Amino acid sequence: MVKTAFVTGAAKRIGSVIAEYLASAGWEVVLHYNHSRDDAAALSEKLKELYPDRVFPIFQCDLSVSDAVLSVFNRLPGVIDKIDALINNASVFDPGRIDETSLSFLRKQMMVNFEAPFLLIQAFKNHFGEGSVVNLLDTKIVSNEGTHAAYLLAKKSLAELTRMAALDFAPHIRVNGVAPGPVLPPPRKSADYLEGVIEKTPLKRQVDVSDIANSVSFLLNNSSVTGQIIFCDSGSHLV
Ligand SMILES: NC(=O)c1ccc[n+]([C@@H]2O[C@H](COP(=O)([O-])OP(=O)(O)OC[C@H]3O[C@@H](n4cnc5c(N)ncnc54)[C@H](OP(=O)(O)O)[C@@H]3O)[C@@H](O)[C@H]2O)c1
């Protein structure tokens, strides 16, 4: 029986590699996107050619709109009747210190990075009752760095939710997290920006995007692990 994963933000960057990795491991994957319809459709076509036994449907939802998020699992494509794994990968990463953060800015960062994953985890439990969740976090959750205050507070909250839901939803649903270090420069930032971050990691190594996907896959496959956060970050959380 083929299992199905729902990957948010699957059209590009880390999300697309997670989707490709899971597809190569035999999963059906629902490719969620917001604006990147063409990328999502191209990825779906590519995966269908590689694995013609599966469908790889694309699915649009703006995760900053709570009503849209609440109805996600009521609107799944007809070919998908059950989701076995939810991968909360989509995010917004915008700079702003505490004293620069307006209420609307705070709400946007919290909505996409924390509230939407919260609502999706809740809906996953209520609709399907069993399975596995992996939340994409950030190695910075162990720091109090103030450059992206609202983003970081949302990711810290998501890390706490990961542990709370793991306990609350056991034994039927496992909930884990992956906390990446420097994988890809943020959109609009140069490779030089990333070089500076990589230089500060103990391993002095850019995190390979396939290592993130591999960590997600490990957590989905390991039935004995819940409430765990893998820091896939070249050691950044240690400093
Ligand atoms: N990149 C890194 O080095 C790094 C480091 C630490 C942690 N992380 C975490 O790893 C995950 C993936 O990182 P990434 O850099 O690949 O992410 P990203 O490119 O910044 O964002 C991934 C996707 O999120 C979707 N998204 C944004 N706002 C949305 C909204 N309102 N509704 C629905 N989808 C929305 C976008 O989809 P569309 O394009 O379809 O609009 C986007 O392609 C994130 O959770 C991030 O916090 C990444």
- Tell me the CA–centroid distance for residue 91 and ligand 1, in Å: 4
Band of pLDDT at residue 187, cut at 50, 70 and 90: confident
Answer yes or no: is pLDDT of 92 > 90: yes
Candidates 61, 57, 48, 62; CA nearest to 77 is 57
- Tell me the CA–centroid distance for residue 187 and ligand 1, in Å: 9
Pick the residue whose CA is nearest to atom 19 on ligand 1. 13
* pLDDT, position 215: 98
Band of pLDDT at residue 193, cut at 50, 70 and 90: confident
Tell me the mean pLDDT in the region 163-186: 97
Q: Where are the beta strands (DSSP E) in 90-228?
A: 131-136, 173-180
* pLDDT, position 119: 98
Residues 138-169: tens digit of each pLDDT: 999 999 999 999 999 999 999 999 999 999 99
Band of pLDDT at residue 108, cut at 50, 70 and 90: very high
Answer yes or no: is pLDDT of 191 > 90: no
Answer yes or no: is pLDDT of 188 > 90: no
Tell me the mean pLDDT in the region 96-124: 98
Measured distance CA(111)–CA(126) in Å, rounded: 20
* pLDDT, position 231: 98
* pLDDT, position 80: 96
Tokens 């590519």: give the residue: 46
Amino acid at site 139: T
Answer yes or no: is pLDDT of 190 > 90: no
Answer yes or no: is pLDDT of 127 > 90: yes
Band of pLDDT at residue 105, cut at 50, 70 and 90: very high
Q: Give percent of the chain above pLDDT 70.
A: 100
- Tell me the CA–centroid distance for residue 92 and ligand 1, in Å: 6
* pLDDT, position 192: 85
Band of pLDDT at residue 61, cut at 50, 70 and 90: very high
Mean pLDDT of the chain: 97
Answer yes or no: is pLDDT of 65 > 90: yes
Write out the residue range of the structural domain in which residue 151 sits. Answer: 4-238
Atom of ligand 1 nearest to the CA of 212: 10
pTM, two decimal places: 0.98
Residues with C-beta less than 6 Å from any ligand 1 atom:
9, 11-15, 33-36, 62-64, 89-93, 112, 136, 138, 180, 182-184
**Residue partners of 231: CB distance under 8 A and separation at least 6:** 139, 179, 181, 237
- Tell me the CA–centroid distance for residue 99 and ligand 1, in Å: 25
Long-range contacts of 38-43 (CB under 8 A, 24+ apart): 39/11, 39/12, 40/10, 40/11, 43/10, 43/11, 43/16, 43/19
Q: What is the CATH number of the domain that holds 10?
A: 3.40.50.720
Per the structure, how many domains does the chain have?
1
Atom of ligand 1 nearest to the CA of 93: 20
Residue 198 burial (CB count, 10 A): 18
- Tell me the CA–centroid distance for residue 165 and ligand 1, in Å: 22
* pLDDT, position 113: 98
Answer yes or no: is pLDDT of 200 > 90: yes
Residues pairing with 115 in the sheet: none
Tokens 């542990």: give the residue: 163
